[in-house]
With several copies, the nearest count.
Chain A
Amino acid sequence: MEFSILTLCYLVGSVTFIIGLKMLSDPANARKGNLIAAAGMTIAIAGTIFLYESDGEKLHNYGWIFGGLIIGGIIGTLAAKKVQMTAMPEMVSLFNGMGGACAALISIIEFDHIANNPVVVNPGHVLIIFAGLVIGSVSFAGSIVAWGKLNGKFGDFAFSGQHIVNIIILLVVVASSAYVVYNSDVELNESFLYGILALSLLYGVFFVLPIGGADMPVVISLLNSFTGVAAACGGFLYENKVMLTGGILVGAAGTLLTILMCRAMNRSLKNVLIGSFGASGSSKGAAGGKDQGQYKEVSLSDAAVVMSYASKVMIVPGYGLAVAQAQHVCHELEKMLAEKGVDVKYAIHPVAGRMPGHMNVLLAEADVSYDKLLEMEQANDEFPSTDVVLVLGANDVVNPAAKTDTSSPIYGMPILDVELAKMVIVNKRSMKPGYAGIENELFFRPKTSMLFGDAKKVLQDLVAEIKNL
């Protein structure tokens, strides 16, 4: 009877996951979707604790279980509440790693269990245990590295032939797992387990280390789907439908999401994962290739005057704004201009910054109102009637090479057509290229003036200037 109720709990859990994920992909219902999935998860967890039976026996060690739940719950809530908006991708990566580690630990304990209880061992069982172990630990190690890179704790690291080494490690992991599975009725040696665990962790590290920090959102999404598959292995192991369905759902959705994210940057997944190696060399070459001529600078006070007397100003935020944490002062500038009767809006490129929605989240943090944010198409429609475009730490997303230069790595990516406006002011710290590592012809165009400096500093000075006008 109780077990039947548990089945029902799991069914409810699975359904909420599907509905929740569906709603998460629709702006109007996303938040509710998240809560629905959370409710389903709570039901599934509570059902497991109180109703689970195996061979007619209930669970025990309730003290440990609740202890773990409470500790994890408190730390998780605090961490999630405290984290800064811009550090969210790191946080997601860390939580993802925890899930991977959890799956790996389950596999270790289960392996230990069957190794020490020599009953009839089902090779399929051992296979699933290893799959959970390998995928879970790759996801764990990779997520930690991704977290460190986004944090700035780890830099890029690659050695020549790293691909080959990675492939060899993977082959060794697969081969030794296959060996153990195949001979699981003869021997189940724990040394294999720890060897495979170590190699999987190493693979996770080597897999993520060489990939550029800016590609981490894509990598995290991929590792996210790995953890989903690892959870599904647990579902197979315990014939537990909610783990199985939840895991597979995330595995599939995560994989598609990874591809969609790549597509939004106009790149292929393969290019993201291994393109990072040789790419920097060739793009540097391209950057130095052309002689771009001269660029113009504009003084702070001139910029302040021009913007104050414009009737329409469009702000194009980019990665530099996020790095400089200049969103609050940016909002201040916007309010100040609005007081002077200037119509100020933001033009948001879908891949500006380093994670999808980065600019939206960033500006939301500074309380910029939603109707001031224009999506790319809208913004491009409004540029012709715009007097001044202020580009704040954006680069690739306004690079006209994406439209004209077929050899450019960003060729084909839709961009913000800032040149349609009467004047463009670009703030960045130097003439250095952005994420894609390529020169930007826009900076040399007649309509463009550069305003060098750290975005936060420059904006503060602008605000001060405008106040004194």
Chain B
Amino acid sequence: MTALTWISANQEMIYIVILMIFLGIEVIGRVPSVLHTPLMSGANAIHGVVIIGAIIVMGKAEHDNYLALSLGFLAVILGTLNVVGGFVVTDRMLEMFKKKKK
């Protein structure tokens, strides 16, 4: 019962999640195997969006909450690594593919 009311309270979110799952599957359905690694790397960069959570946590931390400040700071660094490193490394891989085409 609670599960059902939860469903109807969060129906939009549930719709978004389900549609996103379908989209994720559809969108890469036809990827040729040479692109598996760059695609994996690009997807890796996209989930770096978790950095936004780290920024929010960090930006809401009180000035005397050292646990939150230090862990949040670490989270921001790690999240940035994921995003920046992810996109740059993907671009490097794909640059290789590009160069060969010409």
A and B directly contacting (CB within 8 A):
yes
Tell whether A230 is near chain B: CB-to-CB under 8 Å: yes
For the A-B complex with A65-B58, A77-B84, A251-B24 known, give 17 more contacts whose Cβ atoms are closer than 8 Å. A11-B14, A18-B27, A52-B59, A68-B80, A76-B83, A88-B93, A98-B78, A102-B78, A224-B47, A243-B52, A245-B16, A246-B49, A250-B24, A253-B43, A356-B37, A357-B97, A368-B100
| Chain A positions within 8 Å of B30 at CB level | 25
Is A44 in contact with B78, judged by CB distance below 8 angstroms?
no
Please report the C-alpha to C-alpha distance between residue A72 and residue B86 in the assembled complex, in whole angstroms.
Answer: 12
Residues of A within 8 A of B38 (CB): 24, 30, 34, 357
The complex places the Cα of A30 from the Cα of B69 at a distance, in Å, of: 38
The answer to whether B80 touches A72, judged by C-beta atoms less than 8 angstroms apart, is yes
Q: Does A153 contact B (CB under 8 A)?
A: no
Q: Does A171 contact B (CB under 8 A)?
A: no
- Give the CA-CA distance A225 to B87 in the complex, in Å: 16
State which of B47, B49, B68, B99 has its C-beta within 8 Å of the C-beta of A113.
B68
The residues of B that contact A254 with a CB separation of less than 8 Å are 24, 40, 43
Contact of B50 with A243 in the complex, beta carbons under 8 Å:
yes
Query: B45: which A residues are within 8 A, CB to CB?
Result: 34, 37-38, 41, 95
Interface size on A, residues (CB 8 A): 129
A75 within 8 A of B: yes
Given the complex, which residues of B lie within 8 Å of A221, measured CB to CB?
A: 36, 40
Contact call B11/A356, Cβ cutoff below 8 A: no
Q: Mark A146-163, 1 if CB is under 8 A from B, else 0.
A: 000000000000000000
Interface-located stretch among A103-111, A199-207, A403-411: A103-111
Q: Which of B27-55 contact A (CB under 8 A)?
A: 27-55
Chain B: which residue is nearest A64 at the CB level?
B73
Report yes or no: B46 in contact with A37, Cβ–Cβ below 8 A.
yes
Q: Are B33 and A240 in contact (CB under 8 A)?
A: no
Contact of A370 among B8, B27, B92, B100 (CB under 8 A): B100
A80 at the binding interface (Cβ < 8 Å)? yes
- Give bound CA distance, A360 to B60, whole Å: 46
User: Are A252 and B23 closer than 8 Å at their CB atoms?
Assistant: yes
Whether the pair A64, B69 counts as a contact (CB closer than 8 A) is yes
Known A109-B75, A224-B47, A243-B50; contact A5-B57, beta-carbon cutoff 8 A: no
The residue from A95, A109, A373 contacting B89, defined by CB atoms under 8 A apart: A95
Q: Are B35 and A357 in contact (CB under 8 A)?
A: yes
A-contacting residues of B (Cβ < 8 Å)?
1, 4-8, 11-61, 63, 67-69, 71-102
Closest residue of B by beta carbon distance from A14? B15
Contact in complex: A69, B44 (CB < 8 Å): no
| Known A241-B16, A248-B21: A76·B50 in contact at CB below 8 Å | no
Among B24, B28, B34, B96, find the residue whose CB has the most chain A CB atoms closer than 10 A. Answer: B24
A294: interface (CB < 8 Å): no
- Rounded to whole Å, the gap between the CB of B9 and the closest CB of chain A is 8
Contact A124 B50 (CB under 8 A): no
- Complexed CA–CA distance, A240 and B53 (Å): 9
- Shortest distance in angstroms between A20's beta carbon and chain B's nearest beta carbon? 7
Q: Do the beta carbons of B78 and A350 come within 8 Å of each other?
A: no
Which residues from A are CB-within-8-Å of B46?
17, 20-21, 37, 41, 228, 246, 249-250
A464 within 8 Å of B by Cβ?
Answer: no
| Alpha-carbon gap, A25 to B14, bound state (A) | 26
Report if A77-B85 is in contact (Cβ < 8 Å); known contacts: A257-B36, A370-B102. yes
B56 to chain A, nearest CB (A): 6
Note all chain B residues with C-beta closer than 8 A to A38. Answer: 45, 87, 91
A99-B79, A105-B71 in contact; A231/B50 too (CB < 8 A)?
yes
Q: How far is the CB of A261 from chain B (nearest CB, A)?
A: 6
B85 lies within 8 A of A356 (CB): no
Q: Which residues of B contact A54 (CB under 8 A)?
A: 56, 60
> Is A458's CB within 8 Å of the partner chain B?
no
Q: Within 8 Å of chain B (Cβ to Cβ): is A277?
A: no
| 0/1 string, A59-76, CB within 8 A of B gives 1 | 111101101110111011
- With a 10 A CB-CB cut-off, give which of B46, B74, B94 has the most chain A CB atoms: B46
